[in-house]
Amino acid sequence: MNEARAEAQLQNWAGGRLQPGVSLRQCRPTRRRVWRDRRNTALIILGVVITLIPVVMILYQITSKGIRTMDWEFLTSSMPLSFRREGGGFLNALVGTLIMVGLATAVSVPLGIMAAVYLVEYGKGNWLARLIRFFSDVMTGVPSVFVGLFVYTALVVNFGFGALMGAASLAIIMMPIIVRSTEEMLKLVPGELKDASYGLGAAKWQTVTKVVLPSAAPGIVTGVMLAVARAAGETAPLILTALGSYQLTARLWDQPISALTLAIFDGARNPFAAGQARAWAGALELLLIVLIFTIVARVMASRSRFKR
């Protein structure tokens, strides 16, 4: 009896004669809809598997070959003067990467977030907002070697190679990524939250700092970490600005400095097994650093949002 009633309701619904008060849960899906649902689910799963295959292969290659050389000596010693020599490590490259990426992050993150806040909250539709958005889109697709050439002609020619020049090129690469990702996250903040803040008497800047930015914090952190990962993996601009060095140095200018990407590049292109082994270990070290920073940043953003 119930099956007949449900079938009659389904026929009424299919014919456009669905009666008021009839629940759609009582309507049985047709075989065609079930088949389409299963087909689309299978296609989605297939797409995920195809996407994960190269990622898993890359992770396996880096981990299996890099873990053999990554030991305490590798983490605490600098590069040997010859690629033929066994042992040694990338401590000088690690310090250089942390210095340059840290300086670039300290400059690009505040400027990028402030630019995104201006685009969403203050500069809607004016010429300056359109100009910022246009150049952000253009700079996102510019090859990084062009950024290195620009910094080379503007700074390196006058002040020499150094960490500041490398950080300047990385900051230029990071900033458009942060601006565009932060802008999209700020647009997702519900307008009701801002209206409620204004209704309680809050000023514009208070609403932005206390309501809008905390609500979009997880997405902003994700965009920032994408920019950091992009900067940490850049090689071409650092060849023209930091140059690279076998020595451990922390000077910010007038002295070349190494980076993990430069050390990996130099080790991978030489024909000696010892240098190539250090390059694989450096790639694994860089991967772990980006992974650790991403996890820490996401945990901190989640805790901050939970407290608020």
According to the model, what pLDDT value does residue 11 have? 53
According to the model, what pLDDT value does residue 217 have? 87
Q: What is the DSSP string of 231-248?
A: HHT--HHHHHHTB--SS-
According to the model, what pLDDT value does residue 7 have? 56
161 to 93, 94, 102, 237: CA distances (angstroms) = 15, 18, 18, 12
How does pLDDT run along the chain (308 residues), one tens digit per residue?
555 555 555 555 444 444 555 555 555 667 888 898 899 999 999 999 999 999 999 999 999 999 988 889 899 998 888 788 888 889 999 999 999 999 999 999 999 999 999 999 888 878 888 999 999 988 988 899 999 999 999 999 999 999 999 999 999 999 999 999 999 999 999 989 888 988 888 888 899 999 999 889 888 988 999 899 999 999 999 999 999 988 888 888 889 999 999 999 999 888 888 999 999 999 999 999 988 888 888 787 777 666 55
According to the model, what pLDDT value does residue 49 have? 95
CATH superfamily ID and name for 72-307 = MetI-like (1.10.3720.10)
Q: Name, in order, each residue with C-beta under 8 angstroms of 222's C-beta and a sequence gap of 6 or more.
A: 181, 298
Say if residue 126 is exposed, middle or buried (CB neighbours under 10 Å; 0-12, 13-18, 19+): exposed
Q: Which token pair is 126?
A: 């004016």
The tokens 């999209």 sit on which residue? 184
CA distance 209 to 70: 43
CA distance 158 to 305: 46
Nearest to 259 by CA among 225, 234, 289: 234
CA distance 146 to 271: 29
Give the sign of the dihedral formed by CA 163, CA 169, CA 171, CA 177. negative
In contact, 255 and 92? CB cutoff 8 Å: no
The tokens 């942390």 sit on which residue? 98
224 to 106, 109, 129, 179, 199: CA distances (angstroms) = 11, 7, 21, 9, 32
Domain boundaries, the chain: 2-66, 72-307
Q: Which token pair is 97?
A: 């990467």
pTM: 0.83
End-to-end CA distance of the chain: 54
Ramachandran sector of residue 143 (left: φ over 0; alpha: ψ -120 to 50; beta: rest)? beta
